[in-house]
């Protein structure tokens, strides 16, 4: 789970507004989203977000979409693949 820091949000920089939950079994890079509503300077070393890891208990299905699994670097959105069936 990825969340932006509230102190950064108060300055007008929103971090990861959508898709803040990772999928069980996903392997690859997680795209970090920035949405800025006013000019702001970010300096190297400033922590802008937090990552939480949770224990998964009980029955669950592993990530099987494959759209971004094992990605390498920046990728375009692949939502259109949901409609190609």
**Which one of the listed residues 33, 47, 61, 84 is annotated catalytic?**
33
Residue pair 50/2 in contact (Cβ under 8 Å)? The answer is: yes
Q: How many CA atoms lie within 13 A of 73 on its CB side?
A: 0
Q: Return the C-alpha torsion angle 54, 60, 62, 65, nearest 10.
A: -110
- Known catalytic residue: 33? yes
Q: Active-site residues: which are they?
A: 33
């Amino acid at each position: 789970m990825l969340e932006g820091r509230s102190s950064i949000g108060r300055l007008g920089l929103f971090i990861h507004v959508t898709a803040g939950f990772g999928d069980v079994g996903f392997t690859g890079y997680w795209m970090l989203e920035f949405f800025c509503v006013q000019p702001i300077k970010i300096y190297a070393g400033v922590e802008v977000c937090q990552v939480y890891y949770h224990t998964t208990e009980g029955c669950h299905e592993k990530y099987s979409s494959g759209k971004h699994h094992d990605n390498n670097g920046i990728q375009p959105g692949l939502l259109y693949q949901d409609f190609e069936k």
